[in-house]
């Protein structure tokens, strides 16, 4: 076949492709909107980052006697007495929708009153605050013109691994009723959970009650028990080369190990990539190496692959802050590199230098080691719309718990198989298992929590399973 | 002409080519439109840089390809090659659609790197040096990938029956 024949072939195919009208006005508006959001997100994202540090560091109560309701959008590098981090609702940064509903959270610093109860102080301040940034929404009080909160916290207690927030009135169906286009009750629930957890310095789940009785829900979102923080809902920093993660040491030899630590817990992928940074404008979309699993085939382990020919990424989300230990590929050339996490959203990176005289580092089995954590690990599986079966294996590599496959049993239950021990260089205390999870309804955007028993003396690990119907193309 | 005017003109002119390029790379129609939108919105954000590019179309092709690759990497499920044309064909043009479907299936039989060079070369009509720049690979690699892709298409059974058994 020569070039003309190939051109003819492709032209023949292209002639059959459906033609659509260019949505130029929408593109321009989306571009303008994205430009505005980009400018604002720089400050906001930085605050979210540092708020994560605050949470991760488990700082103690932050008490004070301030009363200023205004939030500040400068960098949160220090939380003083009389201040607290609260979370507001934000729009997905990459959305091209001209009128998107806020689905994410971003952190801000507000002044609080000193009542001796940091959780209640933070929630009370949130209920009475209005974000200065007009693109942010306070889910507690956006419903009413006078910004009266429909969520009125009266007490916050923390005992037996559960934070309990008691409210003065039922927030399930506040006036005006919920027939409107706006933030969902689910994201407002997460706003409450993240704010109170951050104030107390815990990741324990949050039970919401109304005058001592379990709350039915928030703004139409039903609750059926304590709510865990969704690690993926808080906006990560916008700048991919910002200090979202650190690498230590940052001067290494090929084949040596670096320790990767994240500043905040949010949903990231397990995979890594290595991008040459010897140029002034490293192209993160064209990495030189991928550290990924080869999926359900022979090796089933994490290994570095050439960026030119990576296998399909089989990945699983994890939510921990590390420290991960990553072995630099033996073939990495001397020079500057960016080590980046591969995530569904922003990809955090940290710069390191590979040198033949790099600092020695301890060996690590395989190329990746991730510490035991009780953070939830979301495992995402999609099902075909009509057939309703699992699309092959949801191959994933993670420590300490991995979901290998999820198979719906009709619309009644899910069969979840976890991986065998010592998978991908990780050591598992838990044996391989197959568990049956009953479903309350059809398999559609369902979230379930699986608890993986790690054996005597070790904490069980919770794995968040997200299911949705979907098609491949 | 203002930047917005210039951008509007460019977006209108390139929309179809970007959507079709994404579909030829393996995206479905809706995903292809999303990728074209993403690419063109990014063009808007960086229009100063885009408009000054030596070869603007090649530059934007690279943006599209990056968006396509990123969308594939970010999928949480195993990929499956697209072997069928998306719905939207004219029922009165069955033979043409069958032929196009055969071409689509043949493209689906190429590796993704081969498919990328084929789309860039024979649909977007970029030169080998431009493709080398877009993909960030050596010109020799472009040549070898193209050569292997054409060899594979030449022997693809999906294309054997086109035009009475003759390849076009």
A·B CB contacts under 8 A: 161
Rg, chain B, Cα only: 17
Give the chain A residue whose CA is nearest to the CA of B89: A16
Structure tokens at A106: 């971003």
DSSP secondary structure, A149-190, as one string: -S--EEEEEEETTEEEEEESS--SSPSS-S-SSS--HHHHHH
Could you identify the residue written with the tokens 């593109």?
Answer: A27
Give the chain A residue whose CA is nearest to the CA of B150: A1
Instruction: Give the CA distances from residue A310 to residues A201, A281, A292, in Å, rounded to whole numbers and listed in that order.
Output: 40, 22, 8
pLDDT at site A196:
94
Of B4, B79, B168, the CB nearest to A5: B168
Give the chain B residue whose CA is nearest to the CA of A390: B77
pLDDT at site A152:
94
B77–A391: do the CB atoms touch at under 8 Å?
A: yes
- Contact between B59 and B50 under an 8 Å Cβ cutoff? The reply is yes
Say if A282 is an interface residue toward chain B (CB within 8 Å): no
Of A10, A283, A473, the CB nearest to B123: A10
What is the distance between the alpha carbons of residues A297 and A397, in angstroms, rounded to a whole number? 13
Per-10-residue mean pLDDT of chain A, 473 residues long, equals 84 80 81 57 32 29 28 46 85 64 85 88 94 86 85 94 94 66 86 92 90 92 89 60 69 88 63 85 80 51 74 52 83 92 67 77 61 52 34 38 58 61 44 63 60 60 59 31
CA dihedral A60, A64, A67, A71 (to 10 degrees): -40
Which residues of chain B have a CB within 8 Å of the CB of A407? Answer: none
Whose CA is closest to A182, among A91, A274, A270?
A91
Which residues of chain B have a CB within 8 Å of the CB of A22? Answer: 11-12, 15-16
Q: Which is more confidently placed, A451 or B39?
A: B39
Give the chain A residue whose CA is nearest to the CA of B106: A9
Whose CA is closest to A151, among A163, A164, A138, A162?
A138
**Would you say residue B147 has pLDDT above 60?**
yes
- Contact between A248 and A209 under an 8 Å Cβ cutoff? The reply is no
Which residues of chain A have a CB within 8 Å of the CB of B12? Answer: 22, 24
Most confident of A12-16, B69-73, B97-101, B124-128: B124-128
- What residues have CB less than 8 Å from A321, skipping those under 6 apart? A56, A261, A262, A263, A264, A265, A375
Which residues of chain B have a CB within 8 Å of the CB of A295? Answer: 78
Instruction: Give the CA distances from residue A471 to residues A95, A384, A389, A463, B149, in Å, rounded to whole numbers and listed in that order.
Output: 21, 5, 11, 24, 28
Instruction: Give the CA distances from residue B116 to residues A197, A338, B23, B108, B158, in Å, rounded to whole numbers and listed in that order.
Output: 47, 26, 11, 11, 19
pLDDT at site A218:
93
B97–A16: do the CB atoms touch at under 8 Å?
A: yes
Supply the DSSP symbol for B92: G
pLDDT at site A153:
96
B122–A6: do the CB atoms touch at under 8 Å?
A: yes
Say if A98 is an interface residue toward chain B (CB within 8 Å): no
Of A16, A309, A380, the CB nearest to B76: A380
pLDDT at site B74:
40
How far away is chain A from the Cα of B32, in angstroms, using its nearest Cα?
A: 10
pLDDT at site A162:
93
- Predicted confidence band at B152 (pLDDT cuts at 50, 70, 90)? confident
What is the distance between the alpha carbons of residues A462 and A401, in angstroms, rounded to a whole number? 8
Strands A349-354 and A251-252, by their bridges, are parallel
- Contact between B90 and B102 under an 8 Å Cβ cutoff? The reply is no
DSSP secondary structure, A95-151, as one string: ---SSPPP-EEEEEEEE---SS-HHHHHHHHHHT---SSTT-B-TTTTTSTT---S-
pLDDT at site A15:
81
How far away is chain A from the Cα of B41, in angstroms, using its nearest Cα?
A: 5
Instruction: Tell the burial category of A353 from Cβ atoms under 10 Å away from its Cβ (0-12, 13-18, 19+).
Output: middle
Give the chain A residue whose CA is nearest to the CA of B134: A286
**How many helices (H) and strands (E) in chain B?**
8, 0
What is the distance between the alpha carbons of residues B57 and B63, in angstroms, rounded to a whole number? 10
Q: What angle do CA A258, A263, A269 make, to 5 degrees?
A: 70
E strands present in A168-250: 206-210, 213-214, 217-218, 221-222, 245-248
Phi-psi label, residue A258: left if phi above 0, alpha if psi -120 to 50, beta otherwise? beta
E strand or H helix that includes residue B42? helix B29-45
Which residues of chain A have a CB within 8 Å of the CB of B104? Answer: 13
pLDDT at site A243:
40
- A139-143 contact pairs (CB < 8 A, 24+): A139/A88, A139/A89, A139/A102, A139/A183, A139/A187, A139/A188, A139/A191, A139/A219, A140/A188, A140/A191, A140/A192, A142/A89, A142/A182, A142/A183, A143/A174, A143/A175, A143/A176
What is the distance between the alpha carbons of residues A257 and A275, in angstroms, rounded to a whole number? 17
Structure tokens at A15: 């002639």
E strand or H helix that includes residue A465? strand A461-469
What is the distance between the alpha carbons of residues A380 and A218, in angstroms, rounded to a whole number? 25
- Per-residue pLDDT tens digits for B46-92: 787 788 877 888 888 888 887 787 666 443 322 233 333 333 333 34
Residue to substitute from A3, A31, A396, interface B, most B β-carbons within 10 A: A31
Would you tell me how many other CB atoms lie within 10 Å of the CB of residue A311? 14
How far away is chain A from the Cα of B132, in angstroms, using its nearest Cα?
A: 13
Would you tell me how many other CB atoms lie within 10 Å of the CB of residue A100? 13
Portion of chain B with pLDDT greater than 70, in percent: 76
Would you tell me how many other CB atoms lie within 10 Å of the CB of residue A411? 11
Instruction: Give the CA distances from residue A224 to residues A183, A221, A227, A228, B6, in Å, rounded to whole numbers and listed in that order.
Output: 20, 10, 8, 12, 54
Of B19, B43, B103, the CB nearest to A13: B103
What is the distance between the alpha carbons of residues A51 and A244, in angstroms, rounded to a whole number? 12
Q: Whole-model pTM?
A: 0.39
pLDDT at site B81:
30
pLDDT at site A334:
92
Would you tell me how many other CB atoms lie within 10 Å of the CB of residue A337? 28
Instruction: Give the CA distances from residue A325 to residues A151, A245, A346, A362, A432, in Å, rounded to whole numbers and listed in that order.
Output: 43, 13, 21, 10, 24
Which residues of chain A have a CB within 8 Å of the CB of B37? Answer: 23, 27, 30, 96
């Amino acid at each position: 076949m020569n070039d003309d024949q190939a051109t003819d072939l492709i032209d023949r195919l292209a002639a059959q492709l459906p033609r659509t009208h260019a949505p130029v006005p929408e593109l321009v508006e989306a571009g303008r909107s994205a430009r505005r959001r980009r400018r604002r997100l720089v400050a906001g994202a930085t605050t979210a980052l540092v708020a994560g540090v605050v949470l991760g560091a488990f700082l103690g109560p932050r008490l004070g006697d301030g009363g200023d309701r205004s939030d500040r959008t400068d960098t949160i590098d220090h939380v003083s007495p009389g201040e607290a981090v609260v979370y507001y609702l934000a729009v997905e940064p990459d959305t091209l929708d001209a009128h998107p509903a806020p689905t994410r959270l971003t952190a801000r610093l507000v002044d609080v009153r000193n009542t001796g109860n940091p959780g209640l102080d933070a929630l009370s301040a949130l209920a009475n605050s209005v974000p200065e940034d007009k693109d942010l929404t306070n889910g507690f009080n956006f419903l009413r013109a006078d910004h009266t909160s429909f969520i009125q916290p009266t007490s916050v207690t923390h005992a037996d691994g559960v934070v309990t927030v008691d409210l003065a009135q039922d927030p399930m169906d506040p006036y005006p009723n919920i027939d409107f286009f706006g933030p969902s009750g689910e994201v407002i629930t997460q706003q409450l959970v993240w704010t109170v957890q951050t104030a107390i310095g815990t990741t324990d789940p949050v039970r919401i009650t109304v005058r001592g009785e379990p709350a039915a829900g928030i703004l139409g979102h039903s609750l059926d028990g304590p709510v865990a923080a969704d690690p993926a809902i808080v906006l990560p920093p916008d700048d991919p080369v910002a200090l979202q993660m650190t690498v230590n040491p940052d001067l290494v030899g090929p084949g040596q190990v670096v320790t990767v630590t994240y500043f905040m817990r949010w949903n990231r992928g397990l995979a890594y990539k290595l991008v040459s940074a010897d140029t002034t404008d490293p192209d993160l979309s064209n990495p030189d190496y991928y550290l990924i699993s080869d999926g359900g085939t022979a090796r089933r382990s994490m290994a570095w692959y050439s960026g030119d020919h990576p296998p399909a990424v089989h990945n699983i989300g994890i939510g921990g802050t590390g420290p991960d230990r990553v072995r630099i590929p033996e073939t990495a050339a001397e020079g500057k590199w960016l080590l980046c996490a591969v995530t569904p959203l922003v990809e955090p990176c940290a710069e390191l230098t590979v040198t033949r005289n790099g600092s020695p580092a301890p060996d690590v089995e395989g190329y990746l080691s991730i510490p035991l954590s009780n953070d939830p690990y979301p495992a995402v599986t999609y099902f075909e719309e009509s057939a309703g079966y699992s699309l092959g294996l949801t191959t994933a590599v993670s420590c300490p718990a991995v979901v290998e496959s999820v198979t719906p049993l009709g619309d009644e239950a899910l069969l979840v198989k976890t991986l065998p021990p010592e998978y991908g260089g990780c050591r598992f205390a838990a044996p391989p298992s197959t568990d049956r999870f009953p479903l309350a309804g059809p398999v559609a955007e369902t979230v379930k929590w699986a608890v993986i028993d790690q054996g005597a003396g070790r904490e069980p690990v919770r794995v968040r399973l997200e299911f949705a119907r979907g098609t491949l193309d | 002409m203002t930047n917005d005017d210039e951008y509007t003109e460019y977006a209108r002119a390139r929309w179809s080519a970007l959507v079709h390029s994404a579909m030829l790379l393996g995206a479905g129609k809706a995903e292809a439109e999303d990728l074209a939108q993403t690419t063109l919105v990014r063009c808007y954000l960086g229009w100063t840089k885009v408009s000054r590019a030596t070869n603007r179309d090649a530059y934007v092709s690279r943006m599209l390809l990056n968006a396509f690759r990123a969308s594939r990497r970010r999928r949480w499920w195993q990929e499956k090659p697209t072997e069928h044309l998306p719905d939207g064909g004219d029922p009165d043009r069955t033979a043409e659609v069958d032929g196009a479907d055969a071409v689509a299936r043949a493209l689906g039989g190429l590796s993704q790197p081969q498919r990328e060079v084929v789309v860039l070369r024979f649909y977007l009509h970029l030169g080998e040096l431009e493709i080398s720049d877009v993909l960030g690979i050596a010109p020799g690699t472009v040549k070898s990938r193209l050569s292997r892709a054409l060899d594979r298409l030449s022997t693809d059974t999906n294309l054997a029956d086109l035009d009475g058994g003759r390849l076009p």
